[in-house]
Amino acid sequence: MLYIGSHTVKELAKSRETRVTIVDNFCGGDFDSISVLQKLFEVGKFEFVLLDLSEFKKLEELFRESHFDAIIHFAAHLQVGESVQNPLKYYRNNTMNTINLIDMALKYGVNYFIFSSSAAVYGEPIEIPISETHPKKPINPYGLSKWMSEQILQDATNSNPNFKYVALRYFNVAGASSDGSLGESHTPETHLIPLIAQSALGKRQSIVVFGDDYDTFDGSCIRDYIHIEDLALAHIKALEYLANNNPSDSFNCGYGHGYSVFEVIEMVKKISGVDFKVNIAPRREGDPAQLVANNHKIVTQMGWKPHYDDLEKICKSAWEWEKL
């Protein structure tokens, strides 16, 4: 449902001058958020184009006929496990289609490019919190597809100094908008907080915890959950950063501290008042014990200030959305 993209477009709509064109093939979900977003813009300032980024000729037609100042590129496949089973699907969609977009940017003079990267570029962390200089050793094709895209963006910048990019390395994105208009839904849903909320609602029989024997305080994995509205704001900051003539770079997006899977489950139980079933399964391959961002760089260089750094707020917004 273009989860992160929808919330970012909602944030962009706060500036009345902004015109937005959304391109999506809806392989990741439904059309619900498009009608919500359309209402936020004046007539003529919002366009939706149903298009697969691999359709090069149609993509080129769009760029030839439009004048874009910036590209914010969210489109990707994002299931780590599937990327191990079907790596070419990931390299084709996440890396090759990113090349298509960079190609359009260079050819049609779109000089600002914001890229949705991931903590998966780091692989198994050797230090926590993880800073941007941490070695990049992805342990699955999803992470590698993102890291390759970042390197291609760097090469594109080197060859064309007018073209500049920001890669935002998201940690675990979660939650819904505070006004309840947009939430999180993926097809299929694989993200922890919606899955827990669905368990509390009885839409799932139980929540499965993959591994309770990690070297963490309660044995479950620790992740840095960032509220979707704080992440949406990071994209606006990234556009400002580029417009202020700063150099291309990559930035972590997280709060700098994490919560365990059991802590998140307990929080949703508290908020919902429902004591749902929790099953323990063996560890999944490639799940590091901890993924926590060092966010110093985005805070100091972009002036990004989070407003929802609170697990209760994140889970509450997700719960309210899931109940609708």
Ligand X SMILES: NC(=O)c1ccc[n+]([C@@H]2O[C@H](COP(=O)([O-])OP(=O)(O)OC[C@H]3O[C@@H](n4cnc5c(N)ncnc54)[C@H](O)[C@@H]3O)[C@@H](O)[C@H]2O)c1
Indicate which residues carry an active-site annotation: 142
Among left, alpha and beta (phi > 0; psi -120 to 50; other), residue 242 is alpha
Nearer to ligand X, 24 or 322 (CB): 24
- What's phi and psi for 305, nearest 5 deg? -125, 115
Give the whole-angstrom CA distance, residue 29 versus residue 204: 19
Say if strands 259-260 and 222-223 run parallel, antiparallel, or are unpaired: antiparallel
Task: Tell the smallest beta-carbon distance from residue 235 to ligand X (Å).
Answer: 11
Q: Which residues pair with 278 in a beta bridge?
A: 207
Task: Tell the smallest beta-carbon distance from residue 297 to ligand X (Å).
Answer: 17
Nearer to ligand X, 29 or 244 (CB): 29
Using CB positions, name the residue nearest to ligand X. 28
Given a contact cutoff of 8 angstroms between Cβ atoms, the answer to whether 171 and 291 are in contact is yes
Nearer to ligand X, 160 or 191 (CB): 191
- What's phi and psi for 106, nearest 5 deg? -70, -40
Nearest to 224 by CA among 278, 174, 168, 150: 174
* Buried-exposed string 32-44: b where 16+ CB fall within 10 A, e elsewhere: ebbeebbebbeee
* 3 state SS of 200: helix
What number of H helices and E strands is found in the chain? 12, 13
H or E segment and range at residue 81 = helix 80-85
Task: Tell the smallest beta-carbon distance from residue 161 to ligand X (Å).
Answer: 26
Task: Tell the smallest beta-carbon distance from residue 245 to ligand X (Å).
Answer: 26
Task: Tell the smallest beta-carbon distance from residue 5 to ligand X (Å).
Answer: 6
Nearer to ligand X, 23 or 242 (CB): 23
Binding site for ligand X (CB under 6 A): 1-5, 23-29, 52-54, 74-76, 78, 93, 97, 116, 118, 170, 172-173, 186
Task: Tell the smallest beta-carbon distance from residue 169 to ligand X (Å).
Answer: 8
Give the whole-angstrom CA distance, residue 65 versus residue 72: 18
